Amino acid sequence: MDGTSATEQTREGRSTGDAVVVTRGLTKRYRGGQLAVDDLNLTVPAGSVFGFLGPNGSGKTTTIRMLMGLIEPTSGTAHVLGRPMPRSARAVLPHVGALIEGPALYGFLSGRDNLLRYDAADPTADPRTRTSRVAAALDRVGLTTASGKKARAYSLGMKQRLGLAAALLRPRRLLVLDEPTNGLDPQGMREIRALVRELATDGTTVFLSSHLLDEIEQVCTHVAVMARGRLITQGPVAELAAGARGRLLVTTPDASDAARVLKEQGLADVVAEGDRVSAEPPARDLAEVNAALVAAGVRVRGFGVERASLEDVFVALTGEGFDVAG
Amino acid sequence: MSRAETVSASVQPRPLWTLGLFRDELRTTFRRWRTLALLGVLAAVPVLVGTAVRIETGDGSSGGGGGGGPAFVSQITNNGLFLVFTALAATLPFFLPMAVGVVAGDAVAGEAGSGTLRYLLVAPAGRTRLLLTKYATVMVFCLAATLVVAVSALAVGALLFPLGDLTTISGTRITFGEGLVRALLIALVVAASLLGVAALGLFVSTLTDSGIAAMATTVGLLITVQILDQIPQLHVLHPYLFSHHWLSFADLMREPVHWEDLTKNLGLQVLYAAVFGSAAWARFTTRDVTA
Ligand SMILES: Nc1ncnc2c1ncn2[C@@H]1O[C@H](COP(=O)(O)OP(=O)(O)OP(=O)(O)O)[C@@H](O)[C@H]1O
Ligand SMILES: [Mg+2]
């Protein structure tokens, strides 16, 4: 790792304040030359449920690996719970539960024995309470009855649940979940959302990477968006959604007339699709627009501004392109 | 930065935790089907050798007379205890180190390949501790594998052949009890002879994310070293090949014991363990764990 300058240090000191994760200029170039994370400055406030978004290959997992001390940053620093990583891994990681790139299990061991092993690997875990903590974690993810089964016989969702249980073996200050609902059934997803909310009320900070944007929207207080290894934006969810303006949506059987009237009224970006006409909402009072529609004999079924979804914001920020950046 | 203080205050590693991980590692290793299969194969070797000798001598021939075979074969019919020495001499060149190579090669690479390594590291097991635990476990496996051969050989020997006082290579007589002690000593020396391969295997294991590749490489290296040891033109290299002094354990059956080759062998194993152990540590504590 290259040295950080003194100014960098003090800036960190000030901004760390109540943050659980702080990265400054964090950069990772893999051995093959791939620049996976580029100059990342991330701040995860304590107590937040932090959604970490980005298209495939944008560097989310790479960032998480650096935060967990699994890989060394090429340059820059990462602090977790106020301590530098990977140097302070032994002090920090007992307070952190993590699910990284899906679960990994010993197929020839039962679900319960898998958890016992992961708990035994933690030098700070009390062996006297091990079995009861393992039982509690299994119960929390709904695996109690399947806990005696060999992990190789688990379904995808059961493996995911067991991975989550491993992250919940002890009370944690930070929970890092890389696509936790992958492979879960709808009940499982709901359960995870409820779990995340419950943990958050208990004061655990949850760092959540996911592609399911409505899921993020439902549980997260903050979000950061990555694209091509760079941070595009971060902040409270509400601010992000407010930043993107919603669209005026008119539902009507006379779509073409409606579109003409809206254009005459000076609205931009008018799009007619079947019986729905949408446009950028104007600055003036919407009631006047509606009155103009009615005056022109347009039969209006529905009229209103549709709030921008996180998905709209996400696509606006990261682009429509489907192909993964190379 | 009160947070930083609470982090350090509430986390006190327990003094005996390393043993906790070690115990768990032992349990996990010896519950693997592969480990048990290897031990099964090793247990079968004395059964095969014993039965073969029994059938041969049952025909009325006087027991082979040696030729190119292991040193103790001709004595087995007189005393079943010699099956222990024969079985160890028969398995030490290949079966035993191969089994150790498989277990050591898989130790880190197998966990990396299945992804469990990243969860052990975020637990956090600590890289140095995990590596030490792995090496200690492979050492236990060396001992277990050798004892499996020895005990199986003793059982088969007792079943098929008479037991009693025995003659050493030097021609002196020792009691059966002392013979047993020698057998145990020999088993310990054989187990120690495997420590070099174990360290080599563990080092290879830190280089890749594929357990199979690490096992194959280690066993390949083992065969290569054995072949090099047979080429007379390379005699300058021979004293540094980990297998060169392996069969010196027979010197424990002399009266008095010849220590020279035995100590050379053990010294060489310690050297290999130090060199490849350090290399494994240097590699494992700095590598990126991405699998
Ligand atoms: N072990 C590796 N070696 C080399 N390059 C890698 C490695 N892992 C990831 N990359 C590259 O780094 C970039 C970021 O990958 P990363 O796994 O961090 O993406 P991600 O945001 O987690 O994607 P996804 O949403 O698909 O999980 C990609 O271009 C990927 O090809
Ligand atoms: Mg990922």
What would the pLDDT profile of B112-133 be if each residue is shown by its tens digit?
999 999 999 998 988 999 999 9
Q: Are residues A91 and A160 in the same domain?
A: yes
Alpha carbon distance A137, B82 (integer Å): 55
Shortest distance, CA A273 to any CA of chain B (angstroms): 46
Q: Please provide the average confidence, as pLDDT, over all residues in chain A.
A: 84
Which domain, by its residues, includes A266?
Answer: 247-306
In chain A, which residue's Cα lies nearest the Cα of B4?
A82
Only one residue has tokens 């600590």, namely B126
Residue found by looking up tokens 């992990």 in the block = A151
Q: How confident is the model at residue B236 (pLDDT cuts 50, 70, 90)?
A: confident
Contact A36, A229 (CB under 8 A): yes
B58 CA to centre of ligand 1 in angstroms:
67
CA A173 to chain CA centroid, Å, is 17
CA distance A81 to A98: 14
Using pLDDT thresholds of 50, 70 and 90, give the confidence band for residue A322. low
Contact yes or no for A158/A142 (Cβ under 8 A) = no
Q: Is the pLDDT of residue B157 over 60?
A: yes
Residue given tokens 């519950």 in the structure block: B31
* Yes or no, beta carbons of A72 and B4 under 8 Å apart: no
CA distance A120 to chain B (A): 5
What gap in Å lies between CA B8 and CA A90, rounded to an integer?
Answer: 10
Q: Does A254 lie in the same domain as A207?
A: no
pLDDT at B17: 57
B70-114 pLDDT per residue, tens: 556 777 877 888 899 889 988 998 899 999 999 999 999 999 999
Query: Which pLDDT does position A92 carry in this prediction?
Result: 93
Of A99-103, A201-205, B69-73, B280-284, where does the model show the most confidence? B280-284
CA distance A189 to A180: 9
Whether A276 is covered by a domain: the verdict is yes
Residue A9 pLDDT > 60: no
Is A289 found in the same domain as A202?
A: no
- pLDDT recorded at residue B210: 92
Q: What is the number of domains present in chain A?
A: 2
Do A291 and A235 share a structural domain?
no
Q: Is residue A133 part of a domain?
A: yes
Portion of chain A with pLDDT greater than 90, in percent: 38
Asked if A78 and A58 sit in the same domain, the reply is yes
Helical H segments across chain B, by residue range:
2-10, 17-31, 33-58, 82-91, 95-114, 116-122, 127-160, 176-193, 195-207, 211-228, 260-284
Of A221, A242, A263, the domain-final residue: A242
The tokens describing A102, both together, are: 């899906």
Residues A104 and A148 in one domain: yes
User: Token pair 């190789």 is at which residue?
Assistant: A152
Residue of B35, B122, B128 for testing the chain A interface, max A β-carbons within 10 Å: B122
Inside any domain, residue A138 = yes
Residues of chain A positioned with their CB less than 8 A from the CB of B130: 121
Residues with CB under 5 A from ligand 2 (ion): A 61
Q: Looking at the DSSP assignment, which residues form a beta bridge with residue A249?
A: A278, A304
Please give the single-letter amino acid code of residue A177.
L
> Of A212-221, B46-55, B64-73, B145-154, where does the model show the most confidence?
B145-154
In sequence order, the 6+-apart residues with CB closer than 8 A to the CB of A52 are A60, A63, A64, A207, A208, A209, A210, A223, A224, A226
Report pLDDT for A304. Answer: 82
User: Among all chains, which residue has been given the structure tokens 């091509």?
Assistant: A228
Of residues A46, A69, A127, nearest to B20 (C-beta): A127
- The closest alpha carbon to B153, from B52, B242, B45, belongs to B45
Which has more confidence, A241 or B64? A241
CA distance linking residue A201 with residue A182, whole number of Å: 24
Amino acid making up residue B71: A
Contact status of B9 with chain A (Cβ, < 8 Å): no
Quick one: angle between helices B95-114 and B127-160, nearest 10? 150
Q: Assign B12 a pLDDT band (cuts: 50, 70, 90).
A: low
Taking every pair of C-alpha atoms in chain B, what is the biggest distance, in angstroms?
A: 87
CA distance A245 to B144: 70
Q: What is the pLDDT of residues A276-307, one digit of tens each?
A: 888 887 777 888 888 888 888 888 888 887 77
Spatial separation of the C-alpha atoms in residues B96 and B43, rounded to whole Å = 11
Shared domain check, A212 and A169: yes
Q: Cα(A58) to centroid of ligand 2, in Å? A: 8
B176-193 vs B195-207: helix axis angle to the nearest 10? 30
pLDDT at B261: 85
pLDDT tops 60 at residue B60: no
Nearest to A237 by CA among A180, A151, A311, A171: A311
d(CA B144, CA B113): 26
Q: Which residues contact A130 (CB under 8 A, 6 or more apart)?
A: A116, A119, A120
Return d(Cα A57, Cα A74) in angstroms, integer.
18
Residue B230: pLDDT over 80 = yes
Tokens of B181: 């002690």
Q: Give me the sign of the Cα torsion angle B208, B214, B216, B218.
A: positive
Which ligand minimizes its atom distance to the CA of A226?
A: 1
The verdict on a CB contact (< 8 Å) between A90 and B4 is no
CB A117 within 8 A of CB B24: yes
- Output the pTM of the full model: 0.84
> What pLDDT shows up at residue B235?
86
Q: How far apart are CA B149 and CA B187, in angstroms?
A: 9
Chain B residue nearest residue A92, CA to CA: B7
Residues from chain A that touch B17, judged by Cβ atoms under 8 A, are 123-124
Provide mean pLDDT across the span B192-206: 94
> What residues does each domain of chain B span?
3-284
Strand order in the sheet with A222-227: A96-99, A174-178, A205-209, A49-53, A222-227, A230-236
Q: How confident is the model at residue A312 (pLDDT cuts 50, 70, 90)?
A: confident
Same domain, A210 and A269: no
Residues B95, B97, B100, B102, CA torsion sign: negative
Q: B184 vs chain A: nearest CA distance in angstroms?
A: 34
Q: Is the dihedral of CA B59, B61, B66, B72 positive or negative?
A: positive
| Beta carbons of B152 and B146 less than 8 angstroms apart | no
Q: Is residue A293 within 8 Å of A261, Cβ to Cβ?
A: yes
pLDDT of A111 above 90: yes
Pocket test for ligand 1, best of A29, A31, A34, A209 (most atoms within 8 A of CB): A34
- Is A107 inside a domain boundary? yes
CA of A25 to the centre of ligand 1 (A): 18
Q: What was the pLDDT predicted at A30? A: 92
Mean pLDDT of chain B: 85
For residue A93, tell me if it sits in a domain: yes
Please tell me the predicted confidence (pLDDT) of residue A141: 87
Q: Which residues contact B200 (CB under 8 A, 6 or more apart)?
A: B101, B104, B218, B221, B242, B272, B276
Burial A166-198 (b: 16+ CB within 10 A, else e): bbbbbebbbbbbbbbbbbbeeebbebbbebbee
Predicted confidence (pLDDT) per residue in B37-54, tens digit: 999 999 999 999 888 888
Distance from CA of A9 to the nearest CA of B (A): 14
Domain end call among A195, A211, A242: A242
- Closest Cα in chain B to A19: B3
For a pLDDT cut of 90, what percent of chain B falls above it? 52
3-state DSSP call for residue A290?
Answer: helix
Residue B76 has what pLDDT?
A: 80
Mean pLDDT of A260-289: 83
What integer pLDDT is reported at residue A6 of this predicted model? 36
Nearest CA, atom 10, ligand 1: A36
Residues A130, A273: one domain? no
Average pLDDT over residues A194-220: 86
Q: How confident is the model at residue B195 (pLDDT cuts 50, 70, 90)?
A: very high
Nearest CA to ligand 1 atom 31: A57
Residue B165 vs residue A89, higher pLDDT: A89
Instruction: Indicate if the pLDDT at residue A208 is higher than 50.
Output: yes
A130 has a chain B CB within 8 A of its CB: no
Identify how many contiguous H helices and E strands chain A contains and give both numbers.
Answer: 12, 15
Query: SS3 for B278?
Result: helix
* pLDDT, tens only, A145-172: 999 999 999 988 889 889 999 999 999 9
Angle at B58 between CA B53 and CA B61, to 5 degrees: 80
Find the ligand nearest to A228 CA: 1
Q: What is the mean pLDDT of residues A6-22?
A: 54
Cα distance between residue B47 and residue B87, in whole Å: 9
A247-251 and A271-273 beta bridge pairing: unpaired
Q: Is the pLDDT score of A66 beyond 70?
A: yes
pLDDT for A14 equals: 39
- Residue A159 and residue A38 share a domain: yes
Examine the domain organization and report whether A153 and A257 are in the same domain: no
- What pLDDT, in 10s, does the model give residues A184-193? 788 878 888 8
**Quick one: which atom of ligand 1 is closest to the CA of A60?**
21
Q: Please indicate, yes or no, whether residues A79 and A196 belong to a single structural domain of this protein.
A: yes
- Domain-located, residue A41: yes
Rounded CA-CA distance A129/A82 in Å is 28
Does the structure show a pLDDT above 60 at B67? no
CA–centroid distance, residue A186 to ligand 2 (Å):
21
- pLDDT class of B173 with cuts at 50, 70, 90: confident
